Chains A and B, each alone.
Chain A
Amino acid sequence: MQAFLRQLLRVEGAVAVTAYAVTCGLLLADVVSREVFSQAIWGAQKIAVFGAIIAGILGLTIAVGRNAHLRPSFADSFLPFKWVDRAGDLISAILFAVLCWYAIEFVSESIRFDDRAEVIYIPLWLVQIIFPYAFATAALRHLIYFLVPETKPAQSGEA
């Protein structure tokens, strides 16, 4: 299980970094092209935005994988029991699963209405699919933490 979680984190990390590299590369190329050739690169801004969305939303599940989400800890002493952490993971898994359900509904509507991106005109669901994916893997991670608590990394985001 640990190996699976590590591998998942590695793949998502590689995709997020690639998305940022593409975002940055396109924005830079756009500036250079505009300044040097007086012509912007077609669709560069839009693709860059999509790159940042993919990286940002993947970051949500990466942060779950590294247990790095900000968490208010001032109320921890009200329920100072070990089982609360596990119950908390189960609740997180349920909440992310519900969000995943609505994200699927959102993407399905986008497919049904054939929503397309401005300028580059690609179907939006190709990018929006990252929402259900990220919510689903976040739910899966919390479910694994609930079932096998040893797989959960140490908290690194207490507020």
Chain B
Amino acid sequence: MSVLGLFALFAVLLLFRQSVILILLATTAYVHLVWGEGQIVYLIEDIWTSMDNSVLLAIPMFIIAGALMSRGSIAERLIEIVRALTEWLPGGLGFATILSCALFAAISGSSPATLIAVGAVMYPALLKAGYTNRFALGAVTSAGTLGIIIPPSIPLIIYGIVTETSIVDLFLAGIMPGLLLTLVLGVYSIWNNRKISRTPFKMARLLTALRNGLWSMALPVILLGGIYSGHFSPTEAAAVAVGYALLVEVFIHRKLGARDFFDVGLQTAQMLGTLFPIVAVALSIKTLLAIEGIPQDFATWLQGAVHSKIAFLLAVNIALLVIGCLIDVVSAILLLAPILFVAAQSFGIHPVHFGIIMVINLEIGLLTPPVGLNLLVAMTAFRQRFREVCLSVVPFIAIMIAVLMLVTFAPFLSLFFLDS
């Protein structure tokens, strides 16, 4: 009866066009009333406790940094360096697109930011150079997802918070799979476009690009070097990224002013106003689940139902690929990580390795309809039909699934830097 009440509440709120945050808040309040200790005030307390956490600070800071770099010229200059380096290769511009996304991902931490920043420059350039619309669209939309696996990554930060896993370890573990994905997608781009005419290599262009982009190139080095050398935490790295981007864009590139910072800040506040309460409510549900012992019960049940580690990993991959089609990355991590994490540990899977598997699965979810975020962003940014965007990413999804299998069954790829 109580479960029916929950579904009824959910259905009524949905029918009366309520926002995700209100649906979540109301249903969680119901859960607290019926299965918790009957006190709605605990919901507010949980929201406060989960937000009063310095690790969460990294999320707004990386979002602000990504927005500042896209609005200014850091992204543009990074892309020019990559283009000057790779355009002489067969299918070089396609390769440059993939590489630019990987490089921008290493400073922004966000997939949509990567897609918009690189896509705005590379999508028209690819079309102008004679690449097919389908490839150009597929390349920017798919490579844009590298932002969530190449560190710093917001989904990895959220996984770390929810499962209490070291974020620095997760960042280290994301390097090899991220590079592998970049390499494989890059090789595909070269092979697929090998017949398109190349641009001759010009040393003068490369030197100019390097001179203009020196300050932009230093950012990933400072950011990742600072985190891995222990000079600052991922949260502080995010603030350093904002400070550095502001400094470079205002005083060196002279592309941004105070008004831009205000717009970016307001945009970030609005974005986080929709995201933070969802994170906080999910953490409240997680606390309730933990008190009721549900993750442990699920793990015990799963161990009885699934006997081998391989079967468990395959089942998790299939389930996450399906779930990735239906809900966004952050919600999927918040809802599933606490439950699946315990089950994965009972099968002896390393928590960091499992985090990488989850994030790659959900990275693919950014490209699968109906709610693939990158599909929606690409559709809006490049004014394309949804069907066309969906078709353009099919070969890239196939490649990413192959890499996912490799990462799943070869844990050393994720644990390489941790072990060494």
Q: Which residue of B lies closest to A21 (CB)?
A: B265
Q: Is A79's CB under 8 angstroms from B272's CB?
A: no
Which residues of A43-58 are within 8 A (CB) of B? 45, 48-49, 52-53, 55-58
* Residues of chain A with a CB closer than 8 A to B60's CB: 20, 23, 52, 55-56
* Residues of chain A with a CB closer than 8 A to B381's CB: none
Q: Is B269's CB under 8 angstroms from A24's CB?
A: no
Judged by a CB distance under 8 angstroms, whether A17 is at the interface is yes
Q: Is A91's CB under 8 angstroms from B18's CB?
A: yes
B167 to chain A, nearest CB (A): 15
Judged by a CB distance under 8 angstroms, whether A148 is at the interface is no
Q: Is A128's CB under 8 angstroms from B48's CB?
A: yes
Query: Mostly helix, strand, loop or mixed at chain B's interface?
Result: helix
Judged by a CB distance under 8 angstroms, whether B322 is at the interface is no
* Residues of chain B with a CB closer than 8 A to A28's CB: 239-240, 242-243
Judged by a CB distance under 8 angstroms, whether B232 is at the interface is yes
Q: Is B20's CB under 8 angstroms from A102's CB?
A: no
Q: Is B18's CB under 8 angstroms from A92's CB?
A: yes
Contacting A31 at CB < 8 Å: which of B20, B239, B276? Answer: B239
Do A102 and B40 contact each other (CB < 8 Å), given the known contacts A20-B269, A66-B270?
yes
Q: Which of B21-29, B117-125, B191-199, B294-302 contacts A (4 or more CB under 8 A)?
A: B21-29
Q: Which of B8-16, B127-135, B212-220, B385-393 contacts A (4 or more CB under 8 A)?
A: B8-16
For the complex, what is the distance from the CA of A24 to the CA of B269, rounded to whole Å? 13
A78 to chain B, nearest CB (A): 6
Q: Is A53's CB under 8 angstroms from B51's CB?
A: yes
Q: Is A99's CB under 8 angstroms from B41's CB?
A: no
Q: Is A102's CB under 8 angstroms from B269's CB?
A: no
Q: Is B53's CB under 8 angstroms from A92's CB?
A: no
Q: Is A63's CB under 8 angstroms from B270's CB?
A: yes
Q: Is A52's CB under 8 angstroms from B57's CB?
A: yes
For the complex, what is the distance from the CA of A127 to the CA of B40, rounded to whole Å? 20
Q: Is B269's CB under 8 angstroms from A105's CB?
A: no
Which residues of A69-107 are within 8 A (CB) of B? 69-73, 75-76, 78-79, 84-85, 87-88, 91-92, 95-96, 98-99, 102-103, 105-106
Contacting A102 at CB < 8 Å: which of B22, B43, B277? Answer: B43
A24 to chain B, nearest CB (A): 5
Q: Is A62's CB under 8 angstroms from B16's CB?
A: no
For the complex, what is the distance from the CA of A27 to the CA of B239, rounded to whole Å? 6
Q: Which residue of A lies closest to B265 (CB)?
A: A17
For the complex, what is the distance from the CA of A103 to the CA of B280, rounded to whole Å? 15
Judged by a CB distance under 8 angstroms, whether A109 is at the interface is yes
A130 to chain B, nearest CB (A): 10
Do A84 and B61 contact each other (CB < 8 Å), given the known contacts A59-B274, A62-B266?
no
Judged by a CB distance under 8 angstroms, whether B402 is at the interface is no
Judged by a CB distance under 8 angstroms, whether B312 is at the interface is no
For the complex, what is the distance from the CA of A70 to the CA of B371, rounded to whole Å? 12
For the complex, what is the distance from the CA of A35 to the CA of B229, rounded to whole Å? 13
Q: Is A75's CB under 8 angstroms from B14's CB?
A: yes
Q: Is A88's CB under 8 angstroms from B61's CB?
A: no
* Residues of chain A with a CB closer than 8 A to B188's CB: none
Judged by a CB distance under 8 angstroms, whether A16 is at the interface is yes
* Residues of chain B with a CB closer than 8 A to A16's CB: 265-266, 269
Do A59 and B273 contact each other (CB < 8 Å), given the known contacts A95-B22, A106-B41?
yes
Contacting B243 at CB < 8 Å: which of A24, A52, A57, A79? Answer: A24
For the complex, what is the distance from the CA of A103 to the CA of B235, rounded to whole Å? 28
* Residues of chain B with a CB closer than 8 A to A98's CB: 40
* Residues of chain B with a CB closer than 8 A to A106's CB: 41, 44-45, 48
* Residues of chain A with a CB closer than 8 A to B262's CB: 13, 17
Which residues of B232-287 are within 8 A (CB) of A? 232, 235-236, 238-240, 242-243, 261-262, 265-266, 268-274, 276-277
Contacting B236 at CB < 8 Å: which of A27, A58, A99? Answer: A27
Judged by a CB distance under 8 angstroms, whether B54 is at the interface is yes
Q: Is B17's CB under 8 angstroms from A49's CB?
A: no
Judged by a CB distance under 8 angstroms, whether B205 is at the interface is no
Q: Which residue of B lies closest to A20 (CB)?
A: B265
Do A99 and B235 contact each other (CB < 8 Å), given the known contacts A20-B60, A49-B52?
no
Q: Is A17's CB under 8 angstroms from B269's CB?
A: yes
* Residues of chain A with a CB closer than 8 A to B405's CB: none
Judged by a CB distance under 8 angstroms, whether B231 is at the interface is yes
Contacting B20 at CB < 8 Å: which of A21, A23, A72? Answer: A72
**A contacts, CB < 8 Å to B:** 13, 16-17, 20-21, 23-24, 27-28, 30-31, 35, 45, 48-49, 52-53, 55-63, 66, 68-73, 75-76, 78-79, 84-85, 87-88, 91-92, 95-96, 98-99, 102-103, 105-106, 109, 128, 131, 157, 159
19 more A-B contacts (CB under 8 A) besides A88-B18, A92-B18, A103-B44? A20-B60, A24-B239, A48-B57, A57-B273, A59-B268, A61-B273, A62-B266, A62-B269, A66-B270, A70-B274, A71-B18, A72-B23, A73-B17, A78-B15, A91-B16, A92-B19, A102-B41, A102-B43, A105-B41
Sample 22 A-B pairs with CB under 8 A, ordered by A number.
Answer: A16-B266, A24-B64, A27-B235, A30-B236, A49-B52, A56-B60, A56-B273, A56-B277, A59-B269, A59-B271, A59-B272, A59-B273, A59-B276, A60-B273, A62-B266, A63-B274, A72-B23, A75-B15, A85-B17, A131-B44, A131-B48, A157-B274
